[in-house]
Structure 1
Amino acid sequence: MCGIFGVYNIVNQQPIDQERVEKATFTLKQRGPDGSAVFLHGACALGHTRLSVIDVRAIASQPMTDESGRYTIVFNGECYNYRVLKAGLQKDGISFFSDSDTEVILKMYIRFGEKALNHLNGCFAFAVYDNVQETLFIARDRLGIKPLLYYYDEKSLVFASELRAIMEWGIPREPEPLSFPFYFQLNYIPAPLTILKNVLKLMPGQYLKISKSKLEKHTWWVIPENTQEEISEKEAQEKIRELLYASVERRLIADVPLGCFLSGGIDSAIITGIAREIKPDLQTFSIGFPGMGIYDESSAAETTAKKHNTKHTTIPISTSDLLNNVQHFLEVTDEPFADSSAVAVNILSQVTKRHMTVALSGDGADELFGGYNKHAAHLRVLQPEFSDHFLPLTSPLGSLFSGSRSSRIGNLLRKASKFQQGRKLSHQDRYWLWCSLMSEKQSGALLKTNSSKVDYDYYRKLYTGSVGGRDMNEILTSDLRLVLANDMLTKADKFSMSEGLEIRVPFLDHTLVEYVNRIKSEFKINKLERKSILRRTFTDIIPDDIMRKPKHGFEIPVEKWMKNELRGLLDEYTQPSYIERQGVFNINVIQALKKKSLATMSGDTPANLWAILVFQYWWKKYLD
């Protein structure tokens, strides 16, 4: 994995300033600590920072130019089937000067153009410049595992792995008010929007073609339709097992130390079990939170490590360790992102990097197979029973929505209220509410800034449009597009790559995603269990204790922090005089939220205040 940056001047034919390119590229140094370089040719410049994983020799460095001198590539990611593709090209007489996957992608593009994308199995964002045609090609992988942002103003195009590099180049830093309600509702800004005007995220499965005359955007892959193929569950289990084993094996290719993240759940247990069969000396890592009760799942991770006899390391993290990492988290956040579990991912990545460069994780299984508590809630609405009329008064509701709250009774009431509120809504509105930590009405009251209702509805419908109440597969597909791409994968990339650690996600091999998306939803989730087919397929790998353990998120004590440890920082960044000058928020709403956060039944208020704190820190750092 690496960091990439580039500039293409559409109008201005003056040579590009190399020092500016180097400065912008340098902001991505944390993504690629093993080296950096730039390439300039006329109106185009490319920059690259390298995290050496495959063919660590200097000859595999980037920007990489082919032997003819015509094509140059910068590439972030991994192509897991590069050896197979290379062998095919060699049969056709194409020679290679390195053993890198970068050169394979470059020569696949030279040979097949944009159709090369269909042959790639991996995670990637890359750009290829043709100095004869003076064209630039930029592409992003199918599911959005690797990020790609770009600024475009009809005079030039600037792209990068992270927003910080684009800002360093010197673009206008004008905030995009349309992104604000999405951020405060979801705790992240979904693609294609960013926090800045004229800066967009390239959507998963899209590519750009830029020339002096035009910019074209094309979609080269979409999540397949839910065809509900008529196959037996046993057949589906066999195919899923075959595909996941192949996926894990592909992702164990590396020329640097590699291991697995272990949480206390079934997803990382499955990946670890398969990887251990293929790699006998497998190392596994987990973090423990001694004395923090439900936050600490280290014993469950150790159960899996013991079953599969891995070389396991549990890294104890104290509350003060987490708290001390908040400042670092805020510093590496170049666009507001308020999924608080990212703090834990970041500190796990820091300590894991001391032992290895690549880690496999279980990300993606919940969205693919229906593992979230909210999925059980959606299923209850789609398939109601008589007992559901009494659901808010019964204990099963306690598992419908996850979340750590100080009062058990208050938490149950919060869940009951949100379920009852959601079941009365349309399918699309319910989906959006249950993806959110703040309602549309609440974000509207919080924000002074007004954005176009037409534009807001358009972007919201990008992610809710396929939800029609016909089948649970609609919910799961929507989660792949919204929650996975914009929250989970953003978190995994940004807050691991900030420490120079590469995370690989075997559940998101496109062959597995395409297959699972076609099978019946009742194989995945039913009224008895979530991720049903995954559990049944890998009963030999998942420890019994882990199989029975209820799902628990990767959480940190935000509620406590908003009352105590981070209260001073929150007060500093929400001073009434500053809020008034800023002109973004209604100060009365912020004051009410702060007051409510001190109550026993604070609901989602601590998470809302955390989102405000992250936003304010970003605003002061980049806009003031």
Structure 2
Amino acid sequence: MCGIWFSIGINCNTDVINSITHRGPDGDGWRTFKHDQHLIHLGHRRLSIQDLSDAGQQPMSDVSGRYCMVFNGEIYNHLEIRKDLEKRNIKFLSHSDTETLLYAFIEWGEQCLSRLNGMFAFVIWDNVDKKLFAARDRFGVKPLFCGIDDRGNFAFASEVKQFFSTQAFQPRLNSVNAQNKFFSGDRVDRNHSLFKGIDMVKPGHYVSWTVGDNHVGQSQWYDIANVPMINLCFSEASERLGSLLEDSVDKRLLSDAPIGAMLSGGLDSSSIVGIAAHNIGQGQRGSDFLTFTSWAPDKNVDEREFSRAVVEKWKVSNLEAEIKPIDLLGDREKIIWHHEAPFSGFSIFAEWNLYKAISENTDLKVVLDGQGADEMLYGYLRMLPQFIANLISRGKLAKAFRELQHIIQRHPHAYSATVFALDVMNVFSPSLLDSIQRIRGRSITPREKIEINAQAYRRALLSYNIYPQLQWQDRTSMAFGIESRQPFLDYKVVEFLMSLQPELLVKQGRTKMILRHAMKKFLPQNVYERDNKFGFPSPGQRLLTQDIRQQIISDIKANMDFLNEVGFKEETDNPLKGKISSFEKDGSFSDEMWQLSNIVTWKNLYKVS
């Protein structure tokens, strides 16, 4: 994993890659081509993981010198692709997946994308046809931004801050997307950043541009909506999922650098650790495997009884990183600088704290993580009303009633019968629910329309939930020069899970049943049976000492003009002013003030205008 840069017609130098040294501390490269009066620059920061020799350096050209590429990511099946290319008499000079990708594009053009199993963002310059090709992986694991300046010249980069190392771009606020982010639970428009003139190449899209073209447009090369539903019995589906996930983990153990794994003690990370430790125990990759657990001295979020059970079962090494309030204020600016955006919750800090501990205590460059499983496996309790509604819509009334009973019995703290019934009704008709609530004399909360089709519903969650999580994970891991890999987001695993009917995923009120069954041999009993879920555990507001809260209030007061611009209107009846007054009066503090303070910090760090 690395950091990349490509530009045409923009006056820049190696500052654009040196600004992201954290993404590639092992080396750098720079190439310049000239066309008419325009200079074309390709830059790269390297994190050496496959083929640690100089033969893997980038920018990388083919033997003819016609094509030049910068690439960020990993191609997990590159050895298979390489064999196909060698049958076509292509000779390789390195063992790197970069070279495999370059010649795959030369051989098959944009059709090479469907052959790739991996996470990637890359740009290739054809210096004969004066043509650019850039692409991003299916689910957006690796970032790729495109910036267009006022003269129509453009650049591609791994991080937004790279653009500001040139005179062509200034950190000007994209007010519309800023408001979407600040008021919509971090659901950012996937095609735009928080800065004007800088867009994202969307997941599963590519850009093809030739000198003389007036427009830099994106084309979709992958769409998960095309995955057909299949009918399998539970045991058949479980067996196939186990095989796919084991293959996915094994592919992501491919590395010439040390590898470890995150271990929360949940089903997802415990399954990955179990598979990896099992393979390592068979002598495939060495004799030891490092795992990492985040924890806080709060019994409501402490999962160590589960993570320790996994450690005991597989005899792996484990580092437990405590979340401490003293670190929060000192690291907050660093987190926002690397994320290039403010954050609202505290789980990002917990994740940052864990990667920092990995960096300080090991020499690992690669970790495996469990992102993606919840959205596909009904892993969140809030997904269960849609599950029941889907069964009803398909005429499975008896099964829906039985599952409803199991859900309420198994999760009494999450649902009452009334609340669950209202949530199910909301899936069918939000307007009808509003009418019933009015009759009941209850307040009306605007609700989003929820897809009743199970595949469409999970597809939407995969997009809106996973996309910001992958952004956070990329920025956090790469801040410490560590590559994060997600076995559950292997496209073969994703497509298989999305093809299954939901009754294979939830049974007797218990979520992720197909995963539990498939991974049973890899899991301790207490992990297999657990029903509670914490995500990235964090003690939340308990991290905010009185000194931190005082600083937050001062930040907000000093920047009310900017907050007004992004939507927090300073009016007489503004609830924010009331909350600030309440804090000054009795010390009461809201999550909204924490969010606003982070917005202010982001604005000041990036000098946003």
TM bucket, shorter chain? 0.7 to 0.9
TM-score, normalization: structure 2? 0.86
Q: How does 1:195-274 map to 2 (within 5 A)?
A: 195-214=194-213, 215-225=216-226, 227-274=228-275
TM-score, normalization: structure 1? 0.84
1:359 to 364, 367, 373: 367
Contact 2:385 2:424 in 1 (8 A): no
Contact 1:428 1:468 in 2 (8 A): no
173 and 577 in structure 1: CA distance in 2 versus 1, 3 angstrom threshold: closer
**Aligned equivalent of 1:175:** 173
Deviation larger for 194-203 or 68-77: 194-203
CA distance in 2, matches of 1:530, 1:174: 44
Cα distance, 1:519 vs structure 2: 1.3
Letter aligned with residue 157 of structure 1? F
Letter aligned with residue 553 of structure 2? D
Contact 1:188 1:337 in 2 (8 A): no
Letter aligned with residue 367 of structure 1? E
CA distance in 2, matches of 1:64, 1:255: 19
Letter aligned with residue 86 of structure 1? R
Q: How does 1:160-559 map to 2 (within 5 A)?
A: 160-170=157-167, 171-183=169-181, 184-214=183-213, 215-225=216-226, 227-280=228-281, 281-289=287-295, 291-353=297-359, 354-355=361-362, 356-382=364-390, 396=411, 398-399=413-414, 423-424=425-426, 467-469=450-452, 471-485=453-467, 487-526=468-507, 528-549=509-530, 550-559=532-541
1:120-150 deviation line (CA, Å, top 9, x unaligned): 1100000000111111111000011111111
1:86 to 76, 82, 86: 82
CA distance in 2, matches of 1:389, 1:89: 54
CA distance in 2, matches of 1:376, 1:581: 37
Letter aligned with residue 551 of structure 2? L
Letter aligned with residue 597 of structure 2? L
CA distance in 1, matches of 2:108, 2:65: 18
CA distance in 1, matches of 2:385, 2:162: 41
Cα distance, 1:3 vs structure 2: 0.6
CA distance in 1, matches of 2:569, 2:420: 25
Cα distance, 1:265 vs structure 2: 0.3
**Aligned equivalent of 1:451:** none
Cα distance, 1:595 vs structure 2: 5.5
Cα distance, 1:182 vs structure 2: 2.0
Cα distance, 1:418 vs structure 2: 11
497 and 580 in structure 1: CA distance in 2 versus 1, 3 angstrom threshold: closer
Q: Secondary structure at the match of 2:224?
A: coil
Letter aligned with residue 156 of structure 1? N
Q: Secondary structure at the match of 2:471?
A: helix
- Please list every run of 5 or more consecutive structure 1 residues that lacks an aligned counterpart in the other structure: 10-15, 401-411, 431-440, 444-459
CA distance in 2, matches of 1:161, 1:336: 18
1:574-619 deviation line (CA, Å, top 9, x unaligned): 11664368633213332234467799999xx844333222221111
Cα distance, 1:106 vs structure 2: 0.5
CA distance in 1, matches of 2:306, 2:580: 36
Contact 2:295 2:320 in 1 (8 A): no
1:575 aligns with 2:572: no
1:591 aligns with 2:577: yes
Contact 2:323 2:538 in 1 (8 A): no
1:225-253 deviation line (CA, Å, top 9, x unaligned): 46331221211111111111111111101
Q: Secondary structure at the match of 1:67?
A: coil
Cα distance, 1:386 vs structure 2: 7.9
Contact 2:302 2:537 in 1 (8 A): no
363 and 59 in structure 1: CA distance in 2 versus 1, 3 angstrom threshold: same
Q: Secondary structure at the match of 1:575?
A: helix
Contact 2:376 2:494 in 1 (8 A): yes
Q: How many residues align?
A: 569
CA distance in 2, matches of 1:259, 1:26: 27
Q: Secondary structure at the match of 1:511?
A: helix
2:53 to 47, 52, 57: 57
Cα distance, 1:292 vs structure 2: 2.2
**Aligned equivalent of 1:616:** 600
Contact 1:195 1:336 in 2 (8 A): no
Q: Secondary structure at the match of 1:399?
A: coil
CA distance in 1, matches of 2:419, 2:385: 13
Cα distance, 1:297 vs structure 2: 1.7
577 and 416 in structure 1: CA distance in 2 versus 1, 3 angstrom threshold: farther
Deviation larger for 292-301 or 496-505: 292-301
Contact 1:28 1:165 in 2 (8 A): yes
- Please list every run of 5 or more consecutive structure 2 residues that lacks an aligned counterpart in the other structure: 282-286, 393-399, 433-443
**Aligned equivalent of 1:6:** 6
Contact 1:63 1:72 in 2 (8 A): yes
Deviation larger for 134-143 or 144-153: 144-153
Contact 1:224 1:517 in 2 (8 A): no
Q: Secondary structure at the match of 1:36?
A: strand
